[in-house]
Amino acid sequence: MFTRKIRTGIICSLVLAFIVIVAIALYADLPHMVEALTRFHWVYIPLILGFTLVNYAGRFIKWQYYLKRLKIEISNRESLWIFLAGLSMAITPGKVGELLKSYLLKRSTGTPISRTSPIIVAERLSDGIAMLGLAAAGLVLYGIGWEILLLLLIFGVGAIILIQNRPLVLSLLQKGERFPLITRFVHLVREFYESAYTLLQWRPLLLAIGIGIISWSGECVALYFVYSGLGIAAGPDLFVKSMFILAVSSLLGSASGLPGGLGTADGSMLGLTRLLVTSSATLGGAATLLIRLCTLWFGLLVGMIALFRIRWLQRLRGLDSLDSDWDEQQKQKRRIAQPIYDDLTYVTDGTLTSTNTGEKFV
């Protein structure tokens, strides 16, 4: 059931992606866009994909750093495959599908999902602030879209300040325990908060933002070479524009909550390209399709390969598949009438026992 839900979500996202691609092709005048693509310097493709991999490498370093902060022990090799598998969820709404990484960590290390899921939140916040940093030069030079980006910055910083206000958050959690409907979830929320507090303290946050600026610069350089490959004059000015366009379109795509930012990221990239780089709708459409192919869809391919490898190894080791494990959890939840404190909780002799805390509740 778990993978069936993933499969359904990906199929719906692929349908949306097809609609977006058709819309861009029609807007850019398909025959002329095909002609522009045939004149593209395809020798740049390995270079473009290489800089995309630079982004993935930087994000993996951040992932490892977060695991270390939470004291989660796992081999570098296994951690890498789990990280790459998360890329397969890039076209889920708001990238919430990247919680697959927490699920795979739980299966590998036994660490509760509520403890590792804040990593996904910390990744999104630090990447978002890093993107704002990359867009800063363009904001100063062009003054486009600063209102929206300012709102995103205020929201992100506000969330971080709230998380760092430990007395206030703990007080709210304590008050929440008084309500029967909330009591059953307070344990999980508290564990989620403790991890988020650890990851979003100012020192690790600044380090994560620095890593994010370096890693996402890779995709900015990739866009620069896409423009160059289409025959647009290279230079420092084009590089600044590439950073601004990639950062702003990615932020708007993430803020939209749509799968992979489909539609919003593509539309904003196409519009900004026509506004700042070239007035040609044909070149703008070709550049948008190429960079999305070499970033979003390339990442999806890498992620699917990693996910299939993990499932293949699990079957070789005689472990249950993701489907059977998920179905068993659903049956267990239906069987337990009492509150569930953790996703590892089970029933033994009419008592509720948590494998995470070792506590027993009659």
**pLDDT tens digits, 132-185:** 999 988 888 888 878 888 888 898 899 999 999 999 998 888 887 777 777 777
Give the DSSP letter of residue 72: -
- State mean pLDDT over 54-79: 96
pLDDT confidence of 316, banded at 50, 70, 90? confident
Range in 93-97, 244-248, 255-259, 332-336 the model is least confident about: 332-336
* Full DSSP string of 97-113: GGGHHHHHHHHHH---H
- Mean of pLDDT over the chain: 84
- State mean pLDDT over 324-330: 47
Question: Which tens digit of pLDDT belongs to each residue from 197-219?
Answer: 999 999 999 999 999 999 999 99
Which residue, among 328, 332, 295, 335, has the nearest Cα to 49 in the 3D structure? Answer: 295
Range in 65-69, 89-93, 196-200, 351-355 the model is least confident about: 351-355
Q: Is the pLDDT of residue 240 over 80?
A: yes
